[in-house]
Amino acid sequence: MSQPIALRALLLRFPDFRYLLLARFLSVIAMLTQSVTLGWQVYSIARLDHSVDQSAFLVGMVGLVQFLPMFALVLLAGETADRYDRRKILMASIGLQLLCSSALAIEASSSRPSLIIIFTFAGLFGVARAFTMPASASLGPMLVPRDILPRAIGLNSLAMQTGMVLGPWLGGILCAVSVPLSYSAAGGLYCLAAVSLLFIRANTKPAHRGGARLTLIAEGLSYVWSNKVVFGAISLDLFAVLLGGVTALLPVFARDILHVGADGFGLLRSAPAIGGGLMAFTLSVRPIHYNAGFWMLCAVAIYGVATVIFAVSTWLSLSLLMLAILGAADSISVFVRQSLVQLLTPDAMRGRVSAVSSLFISASNELGEFESGVAARILGPIGAAIFGGVGSVTLTGLWAWMFPALRRAHLFARQDDEPGAQSETKDHKRPATTSG
């Protein structure tokens, strides 16, 4: 294995990757600033006419209206990312997100904002994200050599987690000042992200071999299904966050359980990203090489336990600590999943495989918010969070039994210590990232 490249040297030697990293960083801040603002605005409007549980349900609906267009379009978006210039696709997607932020800022300036209009632009935002995720995920590996890809992924995770700290904090602060201002700030950040992408000079159009769209989409689905390491990793992340995610319930915990208001809500939204950022920094300096699947399973179990403790906590400090711990655990899971997907997938198929992964991640986040809202309506917010945390722990044991290849997965093959080294069968059922 070659000597690990220092983070500073990585950024200096690969300027195109640096500009992509900056664009992702700014986009994450913008997206989460807008997400926090959406949740707080919808909950505040709903509380004028509805009970706490009904208002929590409407907050969960924000996730559903964003997920549905992503679900409908993301596989097409993945095939598009394998056919056309990935940088241009990403720029167009960010432009649509800028349009949504601007429209939401205008609507928020009215005397009585309409939930219907807010949900409409939230859905359009979901359309933009459907194309953003596979284009962005498949663009990164085109800009750095394969042997330093895990370290680049760790650096990307660090940038994303840092953005996930700043975004909720910025959204919480700006919400307390002005909701239209918060949406406008998100729009400004999207604009800067698009400018950053203009500086990428590498050829970012994949080598497309042609074929019918449906055939190519089916090929990507078949690859994910046959590669049990990849399928196990992204499906575990899906169901764990789908059940265990408490993001949609944070406005309820902030306002009616912990009684900390908009500023406290921003702290709660930032806490998972603080823990995740610290872990992402650790992984960018010392990325996981061996036993990656085992560490991913452990991280999901810790995620579930921290969720349960958060659910029963009435102390802000303990709640913040548990959110930070679950954020750190999630950062390990994300790092392992992204590394496995990128190392095991050929570039010509990377957009489609990233689209499937994105679909699972979108389901875990946006559909998870909807699940949290429904569960809160039935069990109450505390009961819903406990149910999700226990479910995540249970899934860990189940996935360890169902996917032994994932349990034994490594990012570097032990026998020759080369990243992503493969001993493939024709159907890709035995990726060389597994030992034993």
User: Is the alpha carbon torsion for 382, 383, 389, 390 positive or negative?
Assistant: positive
CATH number at residue 98: 1.20.1250.20
Q: How far apart are alpha carbons 23 and 189 in whole angstroms?
A: 9
Q: Would you place residue 422 in the very low, low, confident or very high pLDDT band (cuts 50, 70, 90)? A: very low
Instruction: Tell if the pTM clears 0.85, that is, is over it.
Output: no
2 within domain boundaries: no
Residue 413 predicted with pLDDT over 60: no
**By CB neighbour count within 10 A (0-12 exposed, 13-18 middle, 19+ buried), where does 37 fall?**
buried
Task: Average the pLDDT over 314-337 and give the result.
Answer: 89
Q: Which of 95-99, 407-411, 416-420 has the highest mean pLDDT?
A: 95-99
pLDDT in tens, 106-152: 998 988 888 889 999 999 998 998 898 888 888 888 888 877 777 78
Q: Supply φ then ψ for residue 408, to 5 degrees.
A: -100, 10
What pLDDT, on a 0 to 100 scale, did the predictor assign at position 321?
95
Question: What total number of domains does the chain contain?
Answer: 1
Domain that holds residue 294: 15-407
Provide the residue type at 367 as one letter. L
What pLDDT, on a 0 to 100 scale, did the predictor assign at position 425?
34
81 within domain boundaries: yes
Q: Supply φ then ψ for residue 301, to 5 degrees.
A: -65, -45
Q: Which of 48-57, 69-78, 367-376 has the highest mean pLDDT?
A: 69-78
92 within domain boundaries: yes
434 within domain boundaries: no
Q: How far apart are alpha carbons 37 and 186 in whole angstroms?
A: 10
Element (H, E) at 422: none
Q: How far apart are alpha carbons 174 and 28 in whole angstroms?
A: 16
243 within domain boundaries: yes
168 within domain boundaries: yes
276 within domain boundaries: yes
416 within domain boundaries: no
What pLDDT, on a 0 to 100 scale, did the predictor assign at position 90?
94
